[in-house]
Structure 1
Amino acid sequence: MKPTLHRRRFLKTLSASATGITLSAAARAAPGSRIGIAVIGTGGMGSNHVRTLCGRQDIEFRWLIDTDADRAAAAAKTVEERTGQKPRVSQDLRHALDDAGVEACFMATPDHWHAPGAILAADLGKHVYVEKPCSHNLREGRLLIEAAERNGVAVQVGTQSRSTAHVRTVIERLHSGVIGEILVAKAWNSQKRADHGRQPDSNPPDSLDYDLWLGPVPKVPFKTTYHPAHWRWFFHFGAGDFGNDGVHDIDIARWGLGVERHPDVIHGMGGKLFFEDDQQWPDTLYCGFEYKESGRKDRQLVFEQRIWSPYVQEGHENGCAWYGTEGYVVGGKAKGWQIFGPKNRLIETIESDGVDLAGHHEDFLRVVRGEGNPVDLHAGILTNHFSSSLCHLGNLAWKTGRVLHFDPTGETFPGDEDANAGLHREYREHWATPKDA
């Protein structure tokens, strides 16, 4: 089967707000029918999606795509054993995108493929569940918003805490004013990661189509640290652990703080204080985001990362805290939350019941079925763009080594060419390239 999308470029993008997204008639699943899906990227988080989706009766696995043929085959075996279905497999996502029977794609590739692959799918009228972060750089996030709007499709991002009951409960408490006016929020990621060593250039495994794996990224020699798991610690492919685990917690923290926009001022400091391996992103990172408000008090959001330390904060490896005029809240998605009022009096404990990946799938698929519009999604593309961009902006402040002043509406750094260069990336000439990216 020859894909009709052979090295195509993205369709013309349009400037518009994602708040205008409504589901097109063509994009709605037929009532009572099974939803045809493709899972694109079947290792790591992709394998979690496959296993969880196998528990549903309302979907048809039509394609399993992975540039590593062994991974695609393993996922196909799982699907057949658990559901009896025999999906087709390929290393090339264009086979799935060419299939009119695919109504929704689950995009669980490395980060550098998230937005390019999702935009291709959206431009063919397919709904997309894309893993976090939704973009490799800030500009890609905006292009994905525009693609979702012009095609009338749902785009849900894989920050599944947004569909998790105990997280939603603590956010409701915060927004109800339980600790007064919230002025500062904090998120952190403290855990002991592995040292990746220093690996020489080498040949990719026979099962991997490395050219397709690279996709839109300028061609670089293969290293064993890139595949299967550690690509995210390299500039070309990921956003470090801030874009991996950290994005979940900064998303929850921003949600509780109640800011639905980009920050005005970004601070960043950090470095490789512990590891002496190949990874390029810092193992230690501190970022501050200032939201300058008109008619109310300014607000601040803080992120801390130490991926060499097993010594966690407030008893939580990954967590959040909010500080208000009448109390504070501290906790994490894994263990739950404690709410303290005046004089540090414990008001309420909210227990964790785990993170609800299946519930996040259902939130996406109900919109695919036509039971709601994309703006109703728990982790729709617009709100997640604001969270994913915090990773990119914080990393950029660390890279430049200075305080950055951002135009939240225009999504630029006025008069700062060096910083603006970090809002987009270079793409390979012959691969799908988002217009104006």
Structure 2
Amino acid sequence: MNRQDFIKTSALATAGIISRPFITFANQSKYKVALIGCGWWGTNILREAVASGVSNVVALCDVDETQIKTCQNELKTWTSDQPKVFKDFRECIKNTKPDIVINATPDHWHALIAIEAMKNGAHVFLEKPIGHTIKEGSAILKTARDTGKMCIVDFHRRYSPHNVSGMEFLRSGKVGHISEVRAFVNYAQGFGEQKPSEPLPDGMDWDMYCGPAKLIPYHSDIHPRAWRRQRNFANGTLGDWAPHWFDQILWWTEENAPKKIFSTSTKKSRDNIQDVPENQLVTYEFESFICFWEHSINNKRPVQQGENVGAYFHGTEGTFHMGWHGGWTFYPQSKNASIIHEDPQLDLPDGQNIKLVWADLIKSIESGKIPHADIKHGRYATNMSLLGMLSNDLGRSIIWDDEKDMVVGDVDANKLLRRDYRGEWVYPS
């Protein structure tokens, strides 16, 4: 994003996103909404869609009947809508013809469902990361532009008041010249002990769950929450958490993509089902700054000041921490200067600002203008995560050409920008 775009966006954010009049709708239209992926997070998004007053929930779709039933019970407390129920997203979209599809499935389903929805006339509210492999993201962006449909990514940190004001502070020059940024997520976690495969629960279509990915044995520690720790379905902490913070960094800079990427990670130390890095370091070289990524699931970094998530922007005048539950804080270089802090304004129950993302989607649909968290930004932030995983897989650095959407002079690396799909599923183009 260039400086003029940033100034315009910041002005819009200050005048519109933070103030409640932004969450009013010109014609109070009713949009037919289908939720695909009815778990915890999909239900959170649906709650805000219903609360907006412009949604008519026409369908719930999930391969797990238990997830659907739980979502149905929640939905009954918000609205009298009687959505149809599906296990196959294609039937869901074909039979109910939604205006908006909420795609809150595991990562390996993001591309196929988003593309199917847009090609059938629906706008899309898409979870991050936008895809499991890089070329999936390219295909989603192409489909959005070809169809003219809005595809917004759930980057609620683009809308949260403290993130908006923090970005203005960063761009004010008060942090000085910034040449180093460090993004990090450090949580001590445990994910499922190793044990034999388990029988499928009633109402679960595991073959459809795996879909285009390899069919692996069912394991209750994979579904519904720990699929993010399975490379078959996701890309670990770097794929899960990092897109939020990379998007913040890319929002700040005028550059769209790093030029050189190198990742390293520790060997697995726990006997559990995950097959993604427990601890990982990635270096991203941009033209004007260096970005470092760090995550650990073994240590919360108790010696670290402030939250154990976020991004540090290290400037000549001090360090700015863009955080989450802790808001943002500027630690000045001068000992005589005072620390500057702003608390967050986050919505319950999960400390997010999904309602602002939903409001922007509706506003974009009605105005025809690209949303603030457009799929293009989703592609940039997701690519950073996936390029880090690609370097880690190869065990060496890679040079990225974003305009050509390829790794420079590296046949083996470019082969990994996509993967073979299983069975009837066809990789998007």
**Equivalent in 320, 328, 343 of residue 334 of structure 2:** 343
Superposed counterparts of 1:160-171, under 5 Å: 160-171=156-167
Query: What is the rounded CA distance, in whole Å, between the counterparts of 1:93 and 1:100 in structure 2?
Result: 11
2:217 aligned with 1:221: yes
Superposed counterparts of 1:412-427, under 5 Å: 412-427=406-421
3-state SS of paired residue (2:334): helix
Counterpart of 1:427 in structure 2: which amino acid? Y
- 2:298 equivalent in structure 1: 308
- 2:21 equivalent in structure 1: none
- 1:280 equivalent in structure 2: 275
Kindly indicate whether the alpha-carbon contact (under 8 Å) linking 2:49 and 2:355 is maintained by their aligned counterparts in 1. yes
Instruction: Point out where structure 2 has 5 or more consecutive residues left out of the alignment.
Output: 1-24, 347-351
Superposed counterparts of 1:229-240, under 5 Å: 229-240=225-236
Query: What is the rounded CA distance, in whole Å, between the counterparts of 1:115 and 1:30 in structure 2?
Result: 31
Deviations 1:292-341 (A, max 9, x none): 2xxxxx31111100112133532212111101233321241211111244
3-state SS of paired residue (2:233): coil
Kindly indicate whether the alpha-carbon contact (under 8 Å) linking 1:68 and 1:209 is maintained by their aligned counterparts in 2. yes
Query: What is the rounded CA distance, in whole Å, between the counterparts of 1:263 and 1:405 in structure 2?
Result: 9
Kindly indicate whether the alpha-carbon contact (under 8 Å) linking 1:199 and 1:225 is maintained by their aligned counterparts in 2. no
2:394 aligned with 1:392: no
Counterpart of 1:309 in structure 2: which amino acid? N
- 2:257 equivalent in structure 1: 262
Q: Provide closer, same or farther for how the CA distance between residues 231 and 195 of structure 1 changes in structure 2, counting only shifts above 3 A.
A: closer
3-state SS of paired residue (1:241): helix
Aligned residues: 398
Kindly indicate whether the alpha-carbon contact (under 8 Å) linking 1:35 and 1:58 is maintained by their aligned counterparts in 2. yes
Deviations 1:186-233 (A, max 9, x none): 110011112311132333222111121112113233233321111111
- When the two chains are superposed, the root-mean-square deviation of aligned CA atoms in Å is 1.9
Query: What is the rounded CA distance, in whole Å, between the counterparts of 1:310 and 1:244 in structure 2?
Result: 17
- 1:299 equivalent in structure 2: 289
3-state SS of paired residue (2:367): coil
Superposed counterparts of 1:183-198, under 5 Å: 183-198=179-194
**Equivalent in 299, 313, 329 of residue 320 of structure 2:** 329
Query: How far apart are 1:273 and its partner, in Å?
Result: 4.7
Query: How far apart are 1:30 and its partner, in Å?
Result: 10
Query: What is the rounded CA distance, in whole Å, between the counterparts of 1:112 and 1:142 in structure 2?
Result: 14
Query: How far apart are 1:86 and its partner, in Å?
Result: 1.3
Instruction: Point out where structure 1 has 5 or more consecutive residues left out of the alignment.
Output: 1-28, 293-297
Query: How far apart are 1:31 and its partner, in Å?
Result: 4.3
Deviations 1:340-386 (A, max 9, x none): 44425335211111231111111112212x13512xx1211111211
Query: How far apart are 1:275 and its partner, in Å?
Result: 2.1
Query: What is the rounded CA distance, in whole Å, between the counterparts of 1:421 and 1:197 in structure 2?
Result: 33
Query: What is the rounded CA distance, in whole Å, between the counterparts of 2:43 and 2:195 in structure 1?
Result: 26
3-state SS of paired residue (1:174): helix
Query: What is the rounded CA distance, in whole Å, between the counterparts of 1:273 and 1:214 in structure 2?
Result: 24
Query: What is the rounded CA distance, in whole Å, between the counterparts of 1:111 and 1:164 in structure 2?
Result: 24
Q: TM-score, structure 2 length as denominator?
A: 0.88
- 1:7 equivalent in structure 2: none
Q: Provide closer, same or farther for how the CA distance between residues 224 and 347 of structure 1 changes in structure 2, counting only shifts above 3 A.
A: closer
**Equivalent in 169, 173, 176 of residue 177 of structure 1:** 173
Kindly indicate whether the alpha-carbon contact (under 8 Å) linking 1:195 and 1:275 is maintained by their aligned counterparts in 2. no
Query: What is the rounded CA distance, in whole Å, between the counterparts of 2:164 and 2:285 in structure 1?
Result: 24
Query: What is the rounded CA distance, in whole Å, between the counterparts of 1:324 and 1:107 in structure 2?
Result: 38
